[in-house]
Structure 1
């Protein structure tokens, strides 16, 4: 099974909440969609780990739905702190796979002996993330029937990077219980939010943070500097989960 992982698209049509977001982001997203469709073999699914929009207006999601429409495979997504739940559900529900009912935009997709579980980590009007008891109870229930290969998709990373700028804006509530629920069975956790691609181990679990086509940072490991946008090449990860359970991760570089 092949998973294409995108994150932090920050599409806007009327206004941008973040001043760093590139003005031609719609063109960039169209180029990403074309690149994914051109892959051989094509991914089985595209997952987007939050901040699909940069302001979350209904028009943002209508525009994004049109941009994602050419994708030849299912799309699963969770919200980020710049998304708006109601507008996202209304504008994208017809394009997104596995959206759960209820107040939160959790999701579940089962395919090819792999279960993908999307967790809504948003606190409205806040850049930081949280997993309350209701969302964690949902995860606990879904894990009971999940496949041995389980992928968790969430916007805010659960890991501590050591950078005070990033760590104070990541998952600040529910981290400990999340770790308890996942236990010692290895899972793959796909995140975004930080705008700098990296991967690490969190207990028994592999955590992959995707970059952003809107703008990216370029800090060195262990840096305590305030992150500033940098003109770095963009790439997105392709996670190849093989029948043996082994996983290969490729970086797909795209020129815009």
Structure 2
């Protein structure tokens, strides 16, 4: 199985343009690249911050952009999103439609079981896993303890060293999450967004990773007194290839570059 991951799209209405961020055009080019891949991904996971302000018109614009994607897609909310608006605009995405207060779900139709976990707090930048969400995760994992499983969540369950982003990280429930995950050996990966960069960390006996954003990247600054900033490194995505030893992750850059040249 080949899974593409994109994240932190931050699609905004044209009247709310933020500096020089070209979120829509970057996403459109990323979709073009995904459609052209050979072999093509079986599935595209979007790990949060689909829009910049969680407004209905932004989701309408996002929907029109995603219409060009010729691949199945699963959506997850980030701290910039509004689950109610997501559900309203993406009514045909059955996995989003439930009476749960949190936007989380399980998809069992792929070789890898997909468990989407909601880490968001409406109107806040930091993340939380309350007792109800942790109980749902524990129950969900217990139902298929042997089946290869992938967890997707917006806030990564680890500190990154970028202090200002860690202050907006998963501040509640991280230890309990790790304890739940550590009980299982079938969790192939924990895929996250929020950091706008590629990172890897061991969590609960498996590997958690973050993905570059399509809109912009968080500047890599590990100084304790740094000012949080972003830059325009090339937008990117990740490909997760299911090989004989588990998932292998490839960092992919969106854009035109010379090559490939034969050796």
Give me the TM-score of the superposition, normalised by structure 1.
Answer: 0.90
Q: 1:21 to 1:139 in 2, by over 3 A?
A: farther
- Note if contact 1:49-1:79 (Cα within 8 Å) is conserved in structure 2: yes
Query: Over aligned residue pairs, what C-alpha RMSD do you find?
Result: 2.0
Match of 1:75 among 62, 73, 76: 73
- Note if contact 2:241-2:247 (Cα within 8 Å) is conserved in structure 1: yes
- How far, CA to CA, are the matches of 1:41 and 1:84 in structure 2? 34
- How far, CA to CA, are the matches of 1:223 and 1:81 in structure 2? 25
Offset at residue 227 of structure 1 (A): 2.9
Counterpart in the other structure of 2:96: 99
Gaps of 5+ in 1: none
- How far, CA to CA, are the matches of 1:185 and 1:251 in structure 2? 27
Find the structure with the greater CA-based Rg: 2
- How far, CA to CA, are the matches of 2:15 and 2:201 in structure 1? 34
Counterpart in the other structure of 1:227: 228
- Note if contact 2:215-2:235 (Cα within 8 Å) is conserved in structure 1: no
Match of 1:122 among 120, 123, 143: 120
SS of residue in 2 equivalent to 1:122: coil
- How far, CA to CA, are the matches of 1:122 and 1:20 in structure 2? 26
Counterpart in the other structure of 2:136: 138
Counterpart in the other structure of 2:214: 213
Offset at residue 116 of structure 1 (A): 0.8
Counterpart in the other structure of 2:178: 179
- Note if contact 2:11-2:51 (Cα within 8 Å) is conserved in structure 1: yes
- Note if contact 1:191-1:207 (Cα within 8 Å) is conserved in structure 2: yes
SS of residue in 2 equivalent to 1:98: helix
Gaps of 5+ in 2: 257-263
- How far, CA to CA, are the matches of 2:170 and 2:124 in structure 1? 12
Counterpart in the other structure of 2:148: 149
Alignment: residue pair count: 251
Q: 1:84 to 1:66 in 2, by over 3 A?
A: same
Counterpart in the other structure of 2:169: 170
Offset at residue 99 of structure 1 (A): 2.6
